[in-house]
Structure 1
Amino acid sequence: MQDDLATLQRETFDYFIREANPANGLILDKTEANWPASIAATGLALACYPVGVERRFMTRAAAVERTLTTLRFFWNSPQGVEPDATGYRGFYYHFLDMQTGRRAWQCELSTIDSTLLLAGALAAGQYFDEDTEAEAEIRGLAEALYRRADWRWAQDGGDTVTHGWTPEHGFLKYRWQGYDEALLLYVLGLGSPTHPLPPSSYTAWSATFRWESCYGYEYLYAGPLFIHQLSHVWIDFRGLQDAFMRGKGSDYFENSRRATFVQQRYAVDNPRGFEGYGEHCWGITASEGPGPSTLKLNGIERRFEGYVGRGVPYGPDDGTLAPWAVAASLP
């Protein structure tokens, strides 16, 4: 098992090396022709480079070079209301052209994907702590990028934070409500040294949580498994409690553990009767899928989706399992 995990980790790490633009540090969202970069993937890459150094996948010097290239690009890239800018108000567009670094597809300025990018930058700033000019620059750029993000602007006058903004239509109508990957967003927003979210914003967000009992486990509900994993890439939540978790006698680490058991129990129960589900075959989360299409299998008409946030126990569930969801659940 350890050898298998080591191989999986190395091959996953190699994606961030192989699918990067060395000129700007951007990481391809997925390996499809003419696809753009994802700022979330780029943030994960920034967090992975220190791991690569510790695992001896790359030298510290190579990691410093890649990290500096990435941070310099984002710090110097155009910020403004122009429709082809890279970002605005310290946030960045969800997808960027791999070569130019400009906005792709008329996509949204994404608060959550910017959060993942900034978290990666801050992780790099914490790791590269040597007294050298290059590593000092990493620390300075990471701090500067974090300080530039205007979290209060992202509230658009409301209590919670919006999903994003476009220069064509302004703020998106959706806000971060219900337990989701915005846990990390609110941590960074509340901690901002320049434009912090007010505590009332976190209170408003947590007021929309749903505590449920499912398959014998009481937990803070979110369907897709990635929601219970993503923020934990950067923060060890064991023993950390907010008012909501104090009231439940739990924390977000324990909550993710319970959510993982719910996933496994759901696969054993297999209420929709999919082939292969079971104790050792599970993992329902946001992922690519075989659709969109409809097929009749074993006399049952099934609707298959493409990329969608699959979840349990309420769905959607079209029989698509994501292997990475299980790997990310291992200690």
Structure 2
Amino acid sequence: MKTKRSVRTEELLLLQRETFDYFLGEVNAANGLIRDKTAADWAASIAATGLALACYPVAVERGFMARQAAVARTLATLRFFWASPQGPEPDATGHRGFYYHFLDMETGRRAWQCELSTIDSALLLAGALTAAAYFDAAEPDEQEIRTLASALYRRADWQWAQNQGATVTHGWSPEDGFIKYRWEGYDEALLVYVMGLGSPTFPLPESSYAAWTSTYRWENCYGYEYLYAGPLFTHQLSHVWIDFGGIQDAFMREKGIDYFENSRRATYLQQCYAIMNPRKFDGYRECCWGITASEGPGPATLKLNGVQREFYDYVGRGVPYGPDDGTLAPWAVAASLPFAPEIVLEALDFCIHQAKLKEFNRYGFKAAFNPTHPGEPGNPYGCWVSPWHFGINQGPIVLMIENHLSDQVWRLMRGCPYIVTGLRRAGFEGGWLNDADPG
């Protein structure tokens, strides 16, 4: 019987360090903005910037960055966002305490006529609150971090973001007003609602959370009963910051599990789907999975081994209903580490040692690969591999490796009064939350 290989702790730490280097290399140090992806003249992503803010404390603890350098970078970021122009003008940085999804790396103004994004703003503000929880010294710079992070969080007008509806909208633009889509159905908006409910200034009403959970889909797939969301990242992103193990809202109390267990089941379902491989893609197996929102080799249609295959570009790939074109994302495997290390470590070993997805790369894993698509002739991988790294992929790798090894980010946020308040107003009870300081 073949012995299963698993990634060793020292290899995890090396992956974490190489991945974190993205935030050192793809940054405007003057304003702290982090580039969305490694393409020439590309814009910054506020989500990637929020993830960077959460990663700096990890980097200090792991010796990747000196504390004073992390303080300086964090302050530059928070000062920029606090002073940046807020208002309805189409070239502002934000409005009503929220921020545009993409910003010009140099000026910090809105890029590409993008939307004012509630989820990406939540990720940015969660990163700021992580920094505030970690940088707790009495010296002036660290005091200023705490002051600015709290002020930024308090400025967000979550009630406005509802646009007089029961749930929260995806965002707004000066040209078209509120986006017609709302956060409904289980997904990464778990963080949006907890952050919005915890606000001391413009809190979401508790009814908004009940309205959201009323749109959930509970399913039975491949023998796993779970709260459905297709892309793997939707089972991870809120968990980067909040430890949902042992705490339950009304929905999960009725089901007899918690959101952490739900993510564990979703991770196993990914592996099961890869083993079943209903669409017969190359490479899928027990140690090769990870279907999520990601870059892809399309749009293209190719006839391969007698089968007509359609390939997509960036799309929210999901399990078990698709879309699925054979594209896998190693970062999403790494971000599942706290939920199911017994299968994730084996899959990471495959990504590193067999697929060799860290070779020829600056920042750990590339964003995605597709064993079915041949890629460009003569490419070193033998199949299509994304040419890019994305900041929003890099952050969860760093942070979830750390939560697996030390639960640092979870410990910090368990002490954040805004998060504690938001969870309690959402109806969460039990576990560590029963002992949390209400602030």
TM-score range normalised by the length of the shorter chain = over 0.9
Match for residue 265 of structure 2 among 243, 246, 258: 258
**Residue in 2 aligned with 1:84?**
91
Q: Which residue of 2 aligns with 1:294?
A: 301
Q: Out of 195, 216, 223, which is 2:202 matched to?
A: 195
Per the alignment, in what secondary structure is the counterpart of residue 28 of structure 2? Answer: coil
Counterpart of 1:113 in structure 2 is 120
How far residue 26 of structure 1 moved from its aligned partner, in angstroms, is: 0.2
Runs of 4+ in structure 1 displaced over 4 angstroms?
none
Match of 2:133 in 1: 126
Give the aligned partner of residue 255 of structure 2. 248
Alignment deviations for residues 92-133 of structure 1 (CA, whole Å, 9 cap, x no partner): 000000000000000000000000000000000000000110
Task: Please give the root-mean-square deviation of Cα atoms over the aligned residues, in Å.
Answer: 0.6
Partner of 2:148: 141
Q: 1:59 aligns with which of 60, 63, 66?
A: 66
After TM superposition, list the pairs within 5 Å mapping 1:210-225 onto structure 2: 210-225=217-232
**Which residues of 2 match residues 2-21 of structure 1 at below 5 A?**
2-21=9-28
The superposition leaves residues 240-289 of structure 1 with CA deviations (integer Å, 9 ceiling, x where unpaired) of 11110001001110000000000000000000000110000000001111
* Pairing 1:278-293 to 2, within 5 Å after superposition: 278-293=285-300
Shift of 1:43: 0.2
CA–CA distance in 2 between the matches of 1:27 and 1:292? 27
The question of 1:160 aligning with 2:191 is answered no
Secondary structure, counterpart of 1:152 in structure 2:
helix
Identical amino acids, percent of aligned pairs = 78
Instruction: Provide structure 1 residue ranges, at least 5 long, that are not aligned to the other structure.
Output: none
Q: Quick one: which amino acid aligns to residue 38 of structure 1?
A: S
Q: State the partner residue of 2:322.
A: 315
Residue 277 (structure 1) aligns with: 284
Q: Which of 272, 275, 281 matches 1:268? A: 275
Question: Is 1:172 equivalent to 2:179 in the alignment?
Answer: yes
What is the TM-score with the length of structure 2 in the denominator? Answer: 0.75
- Aligned equivalents of 1:298, 1:193: Cα separation in 2: 59
- SS class of match (2:226): strand
Shift of 1:313: 0.1
What CA distance in whole angstroms lies between the structure 2 residues aligned with 1:102 and 1:124? 23
**Equivalent residue pairs, number:** 331
Unpaired stretches in structure 2, ≥5 consecutive residues: 1-7, 339-439
Alpha-carbon offset, residue 325 of structure 1? 1.2
Q: In structure 2, what is the equivalent of residue 303 of structure 1? A: 310
- CA distance, structure 1, for counterparts of residue 299 and residue 121 of structure 2: 29
Deviation for aligned residue 1:3: 2.2
Q: 1:181-220: per-residue Cα shift (whole Å, max 9, x none)?
A: 0000000000001000001000000000000011111000
Matching residue of 1:207 = 214
Give the match for residue 31 of structure 1.
Answer: 38
